[in-house]
């Protein structure tokens, strides 16, 4: 397939044509449901989603829908879909912006493949790289180094986690939950599954490395060093609305 073949969307059954129209006109919540319906249809549904994705504006308002379409198509065992994604979206739908010339494509691929444990390890490595040589060598980051992390890079990392978890994982999600529980760390740990009662979740075997994990479960921070690092991260200006 040298160019996007949308011919299969020209003579669609009425039901699929209706879904195609709604995908381009309904509010985001409905659009996300329609993506699942079109995926369930199979090849004809894939074609509608591919056409939508390649013509969709790269805007923040379309971020979640585009991300869900990409990840849903990525999960399909379809050579045509795989070729389409490789041709048009070789690094996904999230712009891999960096102020430090860091390549975020490896993180995108791990997340797209749902290799969440490896993606989590790479995320820590990338944060250390952003913090500088000393952090990279020690393989963890001081809370005093957090405020110097570039907003652009943190937002790219967060956007990748959001995009490949249907909005379930990411630092911004953790911040939202933290604020919703009145900045109570104990309530946060419980909600995101990092602690049960008085017992910390043990790394790595007791963490849930799948989309079945609680909202905000990933990426991890080393809470055993205290709350200063994650506190600094959650108040970073990268998450300012």
Nearest partner of 22 among 36, 11, 8, judged by Cα:
36
The confidence score (pLDDT) of residue 57 equals 76
> What's 137's domain CATH number?
1.10.10.1770
Burial class (CB in 10 A: 0-12, 13-18, 19+), 78: middle
Range 91-110 average pLDDT: 97
Tell whether 80 and 170 lie within a shared domain.
no
Residue 142 clears pLDDT 50, i.e. is over it: yes
The answer for 226, left when phi > 0, alpha when psi is -120 to 50, beta otherwise, is left
94 is a domain residue: no
> What's 40's domain CATH number?
1.25.40.620
The confidence score (pLDDT) of residue 11 equals 55
Tell whether 166 and 61 lie within a shared domain.
no
143-155 pLDDT, tens digit per residue, is 999 999 999 999 9
Q: How many domains does the chain have?
A: 2
Reported as a pLDDT band with limits 50, 70 and 90, residue 12 is low
Tell whether 135 and 231 lie within a shared domain.
yes
177-203 pLDDT, tens digit per residue, is 999 999 999 999 999 999 999 999 999
175 is a domain residue: yes
Tell whether 123 and 228 lie within a shared domain.
yes
Tell whether 196 and 140 lie within a shared domain.
yes
Predicted TM-score (pTM) of the model is 0.92
Of the three residues 56, 88, 120, the one that is the final residue of a domain is 88
| CA distance between the termini of the chain | 41
The confidence score (pLDDT) of residue 224 equals 56
Range of the domain at 205: 105-239
170 is a domain residue: yes
């Amino acid at each position: 397939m040298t160019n996007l073949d949308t011919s299969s969307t020209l003579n669609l059954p009425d039901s699929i044509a209706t879904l195609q129209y709604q995908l381009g006109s309904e509010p985001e919540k409905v659009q996300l449901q329609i993506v699942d319906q079109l995926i369930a249809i199979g090849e004809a549904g894939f074609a509608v989603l591919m056409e939508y994705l390649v013509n969709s504006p790269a805007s923040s308002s379309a971020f979640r829908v585009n991300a869900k379409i990409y990840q849903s198509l990525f999960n399909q065992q379809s050579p045509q879909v795989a070729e389409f994604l490789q041709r048009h979206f070789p690094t996904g739908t999230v712009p891999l912006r960096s102020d430090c010339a860091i390549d975020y494509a490896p993180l995108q691929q791990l997340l797209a493949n749902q290799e969440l444990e490896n993606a989590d390890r790479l995320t820590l490595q990338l944060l250390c790289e952003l913090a500088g040589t000393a952090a990279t060598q020690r393989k963890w980051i001081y809370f005093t180094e957090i405020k110097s992390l570039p907003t652009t890079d943190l937002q790219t990392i967060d956007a990748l986690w959001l995009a490949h978890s249907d909005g379930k994982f990411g630092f911004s999600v953790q911040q939202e939950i933290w604020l919703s529980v009145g900045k109570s760390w104990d309530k946060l740990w419980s909600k995101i599954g990092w602690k049960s009662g008085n017992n910390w979740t043990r790394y790595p075997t007791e963490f849930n490395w799948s989309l079945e994990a609680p909202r905000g479960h990933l990426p991890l921070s080393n809470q055993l060093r205290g709350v200063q690092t994650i506190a600094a991260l959650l108040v970073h200006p990268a998450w300012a609305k």
